[in-house]
């Protein structure tokens, strides 16, 4: 569907990084809609659905879900139908993200936030329909196998640390399996209190890769998933002015703040070379008032 044989690496040049060599793998530039890691995580699910003769993908997400929009568009391109199970009752005015998903042909079904928590029950409700289910965020072995290919999309062997934001942990799992022995993977959790994140990651990785170097930081969520206090908005604008790097309020802004903070705390030294994975997905920014961010 997409050619990921070359993806741009941006070297960060401002003083924010205190002479620690820091580059960004710009997955956000891969495609305007199936942005960033979304294509990698969806790739093998779509392939498996088509191979099994199933023509409808069903998945889960919220009102500003990058995953929902990416799935809707990817399914349209692949000639598949799509259904989105949306967290929360249908609002009087749909978000721009949900409107976009509908334009790509996705059928939206709304469930209460309480019902949304029990996804197995939702899947059981539709058991008689021939649906191919994809977990929220693409979590699963197929998602991990796709994410494993991220590091092969560019020359990345010279880096000592590979750093990404984490929701479900699918991308981090793929990166852990793909890294070379001298490289350390670092995950920055976007969720507050996601204590099972390491366990979720390890469940996707073959046991022979469990001894690879992995660190996860949980203190950069800025109050919780998609929370965006003024401090975070100010940081996003500062980063844009310094590096012309657009970020989102859910994942990448917190990721980049964590990298800067860890550099300031001397977690990294001048001997290290960092590759930060820009996972794309700026849908969450559409929830902000106009002119909040300088790059919108």
Q: 71-119 pLDDT, tens per residue?
A: 999 999 999 999 999 999 999 999 999 999 999 999 999 999 999 999 9
Could you tell me if 150 and 40 are in contact, meaning their C-beta atoms sit under 8 angstroms apart? Answer: yes
Confidence of residue 2 (pLDDT cuts 50, 70, 90): low
Residue 230 pLDDT greater than 60, yes or no:
yes
Would you state the pLDDT for residue 160?
Answer: 98
Residue 6's pLDDT is 62
- Share of the chain residues as helix, strand and coil, in percent rounded to the nearest 5: 40, 20, 40
Q: Does domain 9-34+141-287 have CATH number 3.40.50.1100?
A: yes
Q: What is the pLDDT of residues 114-170, one digit of tens each?
A: 999 999 999 999 998 999 999 999 999 999 999 999 999 899 999 999 999 999 999
Identify the band that residue 216 occupies on the pLDDT scale cut at 50, 70 and 90: very high
* Residues 6 or more apart in contact with residue 137 via CB below 8 angstroms: 41, 67, 143, 167, 168, 170
Can you give the C-alpha Rg of the chain in angstroms?
19
pLDDT at residue 32, rounded to an integer = 86
**Residue 40, φ and ψ in degrees, nearest 5:** -60, -45
In CATH, which of 3.40.50.1100, 2.10.260.10, 3.40.50.150, 3.10.20.740 is domain 37-138? 3.40.50.1100
- Position 7 scores a pLDDT of 83
Give the model's pLDDT for residue 282: 87
Q: Is the dihedral of CA 87, 90, 95, 101 positive or negative?
A: positive
| pLDDT for position 139 | 96
Other beta carbons less than 10 A from residue 103's beta carbon: 12
- Compute, in degrees rounded to 10, the torsion defined by CA atoms 168, 143, 114, 89: 110
Amino acid 153: pLDDT: 86
Q: Above pLDDT 90, what percent of the chain? A: 91
Helix, coil or strand: residue 86: strand
In this predicted structure, the answer to whether residue 4 has a pLDDT above a threshold of 70 is: no
From the CB of residue 46, how many other CB atoms can be counted at a distance below 10 Å?
Answer: 23
Contact 62, 86 (CB under 8 A): yes
> Terminal CA-to-CA distance of the chain, rounded, Å?
28
Write b or e for each residue in 178-188: b if 16 or more Cβ atoms lie within 10 A of its Cβ, otherwise e: bbeeebbbbbb
* pLDDT at 120 (0 to 100): 95
Q: Do domains 9-34+141-287 and 37-138 have the same CATH topology?
A: yes
Q: pLDDT digit string (tens) for 247-265?
A: 999 999 999 999 999 999 9
pTM reported for the whole predicted model:
0.94
Q: Where are the domains of the chain?
A: 9-34+141-287, 37-138
Continuous H helices in the chain: 37-51, 66-78, 96-103, 113-116, 119-125, 141-147, 170-178, 197-204, 230-243, 252-264
Residue 1 has pLDDT above 60, yes or no: no
Cβ-based burial of 265 (10 A; exposed 0-12, middle 13-18, buried ≥19): exposed
Q: Among positive and negative, which fits the CA dihedral 113, 118, 120, 126?
A: negative
């Amino acid at each position: 569907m997409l050619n990921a044989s070359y993806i741009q690496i941006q070297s960060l040049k401002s003083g924010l990084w205190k002479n620690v060599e820091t580059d960004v793998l710009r997955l956000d530039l891969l495609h305007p809609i199936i942005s960033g890691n979304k294509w990698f995580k969806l790739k093998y699910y779509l392939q498996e659905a088509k191979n099994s003769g199933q023509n409808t993908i069903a998945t889960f997400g919220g009102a500003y879900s990058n995953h929902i929009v990416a799935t809707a568009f990817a399914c349209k391109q692949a000639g598949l139908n799509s259904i989105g199970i949306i967290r929360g009752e249908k609002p009087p005015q749909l978000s721009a993200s949900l409107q976009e998903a509908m334009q790509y042909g996705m059928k939206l079904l709304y469930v209460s936030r309480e019902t949304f928590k029990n996804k197995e029950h939702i899947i059981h409700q539709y058991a008689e329909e021939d649906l191919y289910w994809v977990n929220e965020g693409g979590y699963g072995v197929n998602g991990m196998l796709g994410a494993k290919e991220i590091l092969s999309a560019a020359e990345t062997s010279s880096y000592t640390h590979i750093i990404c934001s984490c929701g479900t942990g699918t991308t981090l799992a793929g990166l852990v399996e793909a890294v070379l022995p001298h490289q350390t993977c670092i995950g920055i959790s976007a969720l507050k209190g996601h204590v099972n994140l390491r366990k979720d990651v390890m469940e996707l990785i073959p046991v022979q890769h469990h001894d690879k170097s992995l660190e996860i930081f949980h203190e950069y969520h800025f109050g919780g998933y998609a929370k965006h206090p003024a401090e975070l908005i100010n940081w996003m604008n500062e980063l844009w002015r310094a590096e012309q790097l657009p970020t989102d309020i859910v994942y990448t802004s917190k990721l980049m703040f964590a990298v800067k903070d860890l550099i300031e705390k001397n977690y990294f030294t001048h001997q290290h070379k960092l590759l930060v994975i820009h996972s794309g997905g700026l849908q969450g920014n559409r929830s902000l008032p106009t002119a909040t961010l300088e790059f919108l």
